[in-house]
Homo-oligomer: A and B are copies of this chain.
């Protein structure tokens, strides 16, 4: 009985150990919207002294979960990639199982309505957008990704979001939303879509929160896609 995974279990344990501390878990969760934050801010967020946070950040970078970007006397940390974000969300989702909806209920309504998850959209808006894309046959289930159909590219172009044929080459991925328990669009395609929604002024970030607010041109735009923001 040669154990089937001689080395992989060590790597698995390694990743587990990186998440095993509330301070580190808090740091990862604080970065899950794709933002980059300086060490001091992360220390405050995690509730530990700068010295402690520094050690944690060092370990997270060494473990490949965080990327580091030094700028002047600040050192900005962000998640090393989308797969890390996906990993953390998967784990957080699994950890929440039963009391998930209850735990997020009262003050977090804007968060549940629309927020960023790494660099794509989540919350009810993310789910609604995914549903509309499905209904319009805008998505094709590929063998290694979810891609935009020709009809989908046309639809998004007509809505003023995408340039011509933009997005046809982008690989998307479905991602289970941890508040809504339904699919939304992630991956490169999901990221681009979110990016365009910001550029076009349909959505804008709120300060100090992952939640999103409706931009000046957002209501009309979303309505043209068949989504009513006020009823989300």
Contacts and interface: CB of A to CB of B under 8 A. Distances in A.
Interface string A196-219: 000000000000111000000000
Interface stretch (A11-19, A69-77, A157-165, A222-230): A11-19
A20 interface: yes
Contact of A103 (B7, B9, B15, B183): B7
A20 B13 contact: yes
A29 interface: yes
A3 B26 contact: yes
B11 A95 contact: yes
Interface residues of A, number: 62
Nearest to A144: B182
Number of chain copies forming the complex: 2
Interface string A1-42: 101110111111111111111101110111000000000000
Contact of A141 (B20, B26, B127, B134): B134
A29 B5 CA distance: 7
Contacts of A5: 26, 29, 92
A20 B20 contact: yes
B14 A16 contact: no
A12 B139 CA distance: 33
Given A26-B3, A210-B4, A91 B94 contact: no
A64 to B, nearest CB: 8
6 contacts: A3-B26, A5-B29, A8-B96, A11-B92, A11-B95, A16-B25
Given A16-B21, A141-B141, 11 more contacts: A3-B47, A8-B103, A10-B22, A11-B96, A12-B92, A16-B91, A17-B19, A87-B90, A90-B90, A90-B91, A134-B141
3 closest A-B pairs (Cβ-Cβ)? A16-B19, A16-B20, A17-B20
